[in-house]
């Protein structure tokens, strides 16, 4: 059985918002150089499970140690803001 892909709109209706994180990290061979990586995904505030899952993955699999992470979260729409409209307007 395969998992059904969920659309971005469905995620937003379930309360997810767009989380953008800027990860500051150091390269293993050049510790004095600070690099950045931008990560973006739909996530649930205030716990941010996908963001923390990504940070744990980075710490486990990537050799460049994280210096710091700066992130923002924006809830784009909610269930009360969405309405389905069906109609047609004819002009002449």
List, for residues 30-62, the tens digit of each pLDDT value: 889 999 999 999 999 889 999 999 999 999 999
Q: Dihedral (C-alpha) 45, 49, 50, 52: value to the nearest 10 degrees?
A: 110
pTM over 0.75: no
Average pLDDT over residues 66-83: 77
Q: What percent of the chain has pLDDT over 90?
A: 51
- The structural domains of the chain, with segments of one domain joined by +, span 8-77
Contact (CB, 8 A) for 51 and 43: yes
Mean pLDDT of 63-90: 74
Contact 24, 30 (CB under 8 A): no
82 has pLDDT over 80: no
Please state, in angstroms and as integers, the Cα–Cα distance from residue 26 to each residue in 10, 37, 69, following that order.
37, 11, 12
């Amino acid at each position: 059985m395969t998992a059904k892909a969920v659309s971005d709109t469905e995620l937003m209706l379930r309360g997810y918002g767009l989380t953008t994180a800027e990860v500051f990290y150091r390269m293993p061979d050049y510790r004095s150089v600070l690099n950045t990586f931008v990560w973006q995904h739909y996530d649930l505030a205030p716990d941010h499970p996908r963001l923390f899952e990504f940070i744990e993955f980075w710490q486990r699999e990537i050799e460049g140690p994280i210096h710091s992470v700066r992130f923002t979260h924006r809830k784009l729409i909610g269930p009360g803001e969405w309405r389905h409209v069906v109609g047609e307007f004819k002009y002449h």
